[in-house]
Amino acid sequence: MCGRLNIHDSALVRQLMDTLGLPLFPERAPRYNITPMSTLDVLTHERHIAEMQWSIEFGKFRHPNTKIETISRRKDLQRLLVASRCIVPVNRFYEWPDAKVRPKYAGIKTRFCIHTPHDVMFLGGIHKANEKGEEQVNILTTDPNAAINDFHHRMPVVIPPEHVNDWLNSNRIDDLFALAHPYSGELVIYECDVYVDNGRHNGPQCMAPAT
């Protein structure tokens, strides 16, 4: 599951995109607590920048994430991945423990803020237009790495900076699946403030360490 995002430093995102030779996103005011149905800046594999609504409508079903395992079983989603893959650059994401599969967190009210040491992540995604022609985006999820596995059974597909151009350039489904594995790089994970629980809240307190 990946249901809350943080883009508190768009200048840092732009800096890394520039280093990789990618088109630059517009400068934005900090967004500390982005929820599904919000708009996100997305870079398509054609290297176009677009604002898209987070959560794709698949008929009557709508969800902000698509499992990479589901794509591996469905030819229609494989075609969508090849034709409409994208990246969603963020600084951080938040995750709440899943006590149903991680019983040690049963009854414990906590949440985690997660980021890389350089504080920029490129999340793998797919995009699709709805019946009104409005572009929508989903973040791909995969199995957790060892660190996130402690409290949750899913994590977003994080494309390492050195492989972002591979993700954007390849039209081979096997190459894309190979890049959609659990992130093996270093992650910074800490318990953060309860303030982020409310999706209407915004501000630095969302990512402040829990006290």
CATH of 5-92+119-184, one of 3.30.70.100, 3.90.1680.10, 3.65.10.10, 3.40.250.10: 3.90.1680.10
For the chain, the C-alpha Rg in angstroms (whole number) is: 16
> Domain ranges in the chain?
5-92+119-184
The token pair at 193 is 């403030």
The pLDDT score that the predictor gives to residue 2 is 87
42-61: burial string, b at 16+ Cβ within 10 Å, e else: bbbbeeeeeebbbbbbbeee
The pLDDT score that the predictor gives to residue 154 is 95
User: Taking the CA of residue 77 as centre, how many other CA atoms within 13 Å lie in the half-sphere pointing to its CB?
Assistant: 17
The pLDDT score that the predictor gives to residue 51 is 97
3-state DSSP call for residue 142? Answer: strand
**Rounded Cα distance, 199 and 74, in Å:** 32
The pLDDT score that the predictor gives to residue 192 is 98
Do residues 34 and 42 lie in contact, with contact meaning Cβ atoms separated by under 8 Å? no
Q: Which residues of the chain have pLDDT under 50?
A: none
The pLDDT score that the predictor gives to residue 60 is 87
The pLDDT score that the predictor gives to residue 207 is 98
